[in-house]
Amino acid sequence: MALTHVNDKGVVMVDISGKGPSQRRALAEGTIILSPDTIALITSDGIRKGNVLATAQIAGIMAAKRTSSLIPLCHQVPLDEVSVTFAVHADRISASCEARTTHRTGVEMEALVGVSAALLAIWDMVKANEKDAKGQYPATAIEDIRVVRKEK
């Protein structure tokens, strides 16, 4: 099996110059587990840092745009669209990030980075509400980050 990121000169980025551009789309999802009290504060705009979900949307979109700076050897992909959406439940928030491009390589990494950053931004916005008396996060967790759909 030939390695795609290593050759006789060392580490390389995969050559995609022989591929033609096509419309590509990827959807990634993930979940953050939070206390019901924190969820209530989020839905009532009671978090002191501000609007949690709007901040997380911005974080996810910005992160998707910077994927090639974060993931080694990842191509710079000109994004046509990135959207971040949420579903709020009693003890968790599910996040989705969809990325679209017309390019020679896919946008799975952009969608994954976007949803990850959105979930991390939520954690950052609510961490004061999630800490226990010892400053720990016994119930808070980010789970199930995955690519749900990839289209080419």
Coil, helix or strand at residue 35: coil
- The three-class DSSP label of residue 123 is helix
The CA–CA distances, whole Å, from 23 to 49, 62, 63, 106, 136 equal 38, 21, 21, 9, 44
**Nearest one of 67, 49, 45 to 114, comparing CA atoms:** 67
Question: How far apart (Å, rounded) are the C-alpha atoms in residues 130 and 10?
Answer: 45
The DSSP symbol for 145 reads: E
How many whole angstroms from its chain centre is CA 53? 13
Annotated catalytic residue: which of 8, 15, 80, 124? 124
144 catalytic residue (yes or no): no
Active site members: 124
